Amino acid sequence: MQGLMMDTPLLVSSLLTHADYNHADTDIVSRRVEGDIHRYTYGEAAARARQMANALTAAGLKPGERAATLAWNGYRHFELYYAISGIGSVMHTINPRLHPEQVAWIVNHAEDRILFFDATFAPIVDAIADKCPTVQHWVAMSDPDKMPELKNVSATSYEDFMAGQPTEYEWPVLDENTAACLCYTSGTTGNPKGILYSHRSLVLHTYGACLPDAFGVTAMDVVLPVVPMFHVNAWSLPYVGALGGVKLVFPGPKLDGESLYELFESEGVTISAGVPTVWQLVLQHLQKNKLQLSTLKRMTVGGSACPPALMETFEKEFGVRLEHAWGMTEMSPLGTYNHLKAKHQKLSEDEQFQVRIKQGRAVFGVEMKIVDENGKRQPQDGKSTGDLHVRGPWIIKQYFKKDESPLIDGWFPTGDVGHIDPDGYLTITDRTKDVIKSGGEWIGSIDLENIAMSHPAVATAACIAAKHEKWDERPLLLVQLKEGQSATKEDLLKHYEGKIAKWWTPDDILFVDGLPLGATGKVQKNKLRDEYGEHLLGKS
């Protein structure tokens, strides 16, 4: 027997409509590529998104067809998020940090019809224009009088593209399983793979992301997403903002510590979100200039594990709480978020901190399990370590244009290794491919890196599995020291004493000038393995 409630589909457009009706005069502030600060409201954003919907339709973009962006976080990007998905087409965000060859490959794979780009990325457009035959319109997200110079293609300005279109538009009532957004992962090997989100998955994910034990935003908040809108929809914050009626502050191209600090203070930002590297930059700026943060309360840290030392400094010196979240592009991205429970209130600050450095608890909607090499579910005891598998309504079942299923028994294997404690807190100890298998036992590289980074002289560190005659693999640590600081191999090895089991201690430590980073800012360990993977051979 079926229930008798309304068959209202979950649609991305309803988020903006909700903001338009309930938060019409709440601000959206953007630092523009043009250099100035732009300020308008959800009411105006909704009107311009409707105008853009008419413009896209007039330009011939059809339901199901893809329109792409190469853009920073800003109000025009925000409008496109809603306009493109809203008319039933697919919003395709491209990571501009990829090599132009890869961008072209992605545009062709997605068969993008329109490509919107910030002036900053004109060189990419010039480089790919003649390799992308599916693109019918190139639109620069610029004022008409601030158009970038292009050699190989003629582009329209965003404002001209939608000029003359009415701001009235009735968002279509789509099937909620209609594709809404497309985002490619830049894997370390092979071609990028496309993840095709549906209206349903995005709206459900937004409900989950807004929960008090996740981002927990209210109409009192001012949120600055540092995480880029080309990176898994900025962790859904452009949707979260509309649902919660929060003031959004978009930082545009300026992601240095000084520029972010300036916006935090001038706009009264209460919550921000980004990868640890960004918070490191902000911290350096604060410390160098002896500044304080007057309104910021919480920062969500994701993308990679946050060095505990960074969390501690922000909390003790600046009164800002860093909160761990964990997810993947294949998960929209939110899997877990770290908030304490009532039972933790009895613990000492230090004991609470030991809970808070875990990746967090599953957001309702996500189920997790740890399995061993045979796929057998492991106990949830905070110790049994294995592969992490997930499932839920905002988790991928298939990659775009790929026939084979990535699932195992209906679960998505994340490629992460970790354990889950009886309170549901996940700890990621490694990537499946980065785990160090020493004499049949697993060593987690992340723990070893965190300890290294807690040494005052260390800027960053990476631990890889190096081949070993006797133990098959042993940990090798690569360290980049802070400018002007020094430490010896012996200093660092001593720093491990008492912090881990002795046999986990790295066999050797090499000092390097920098670590190779991928397009999303993560250390490319495969490159390190290629270079240093045989370093220990013939030494023991």
* Residues that are catalytic: 185, 330, 437, 442
- How far apart (Å, rounded) are the C-alpha atoms in residues 238 and 388? 28
The smaller minimum CB distance to a second copy, of residues 49 and 195, is found at 195
Using rule CB under 8 A, residue 198 touches a second copy = yes
Using rule CB under 8 A, residue 136 touches a second copy = no
Angle between helices 12-22 and 237-244 (to 10 degrees): 40
CB of 422 to a second copy, least distance (A): 6
CB of 152 to a second copy, least distance (A): 30
Token digits of residue 458: 């260390």
Residues pairing with 441 in the sheet: 438
CB of 387 to a second copy, least distance (A): 17
The smaller minimum CB distance to a second copy, of residues 288 and 397, is found at 397
The smaller minimum CB distance to a second copy, of residues 86 and 392, is found at 392
Residues 246-265 that bind a second copy (CB under 8 A): 247
CB of 113 to a second copy, least distance (A): 13
Using rule CB under 8 A, residue 414 touches a second copy = no
- Cα separation values, 467 from 439, 470, 476, 534, Å: 11, 9, 9, 6
Residues 45-74 that bind a second copy (CB under 8 A): 63-64
- How far apart (Å, rounded) are the C-alpha atoms in residues 523 and 436? 16
Residues 76-105 that bind a second copy (CB under 8 A): 90
Using rule CB under 8 A, residue 424 touches a second copy = yes
- C-beta separation of 138 from 156 below 8 A: yes
Using rule CB under 8 A, residue 516 touches a second copy = no
The one among 58, 163, 220, 408 contacting a second copy by CB under 8 A: 220
* Closest to 60 measured CA to CA, from 125, 131, 114: 114
3-state DSSP call for residue 116?
Answer: strand
Using rule CB under 8 A, residue 501 touches a second copy = no
Residues 168-197 that bind a second copy (CB under 8 A): 175, 177-180, 195-197
- C-beta separation of 489 from 496 below 8 A: no
Q: Where are the alpha helices (DSSP H) in 230-307?
A: 232-235, 237-244, 257-266, 276-289
Taking residues 335 to 354 in sequence order and writing x for each that binds a second copy by CB under 8 A, - otherwise, the string is ----xxxxx-x---------
- How far apart (Å, rounded) are the C-alpha atoms in residues 206 and 351? 31
Residues 365-404 that bind a second copy (CB under 8 A): 367, 380, 391-400
SS (H, E, C) 467-505: EECCCEEEEEEEEEECCCCCCCHHHHHHHHCCCCCHHHC
Cβ contacts of 498 within 8 Å, gap of 6 or more:
none
Using rule CB under 8 A, residue 1 touches a second copy = yes
Size of the site for a second copy (CB under 8 A): 79
Q: Which amino acid is at 49?
A: A
Piece of 91-99, 220-228, 275-283, 437-445 that binds a second copy (CB under 8 A): 220-228
CB of 519 to a second copy, least distance (A): 22
Using rule CB under 8 A, residue 40 touches a second copy = no
CB of 252 to a second copy, least distance (A): 22
Using rule CB under 8 A, residue 17 touches a second copy = yes
Piece of 69-77, 131-139, 214-222, 450-458 that binds a second copy (CB under 8 A): 214-222
Could you identify the residue written with the tokens 């001038």? Answer: 266
CB of 210 to a second copy, least distance (A): 6
Using rule CB under 8 A, residue 204 touches a second copy = yes
- How far apart (Å, rounded) are the C-alpha atoms in residues 450 and 74? 34
Could you identify the residue written with the tokens 């290629």? Answer: 530
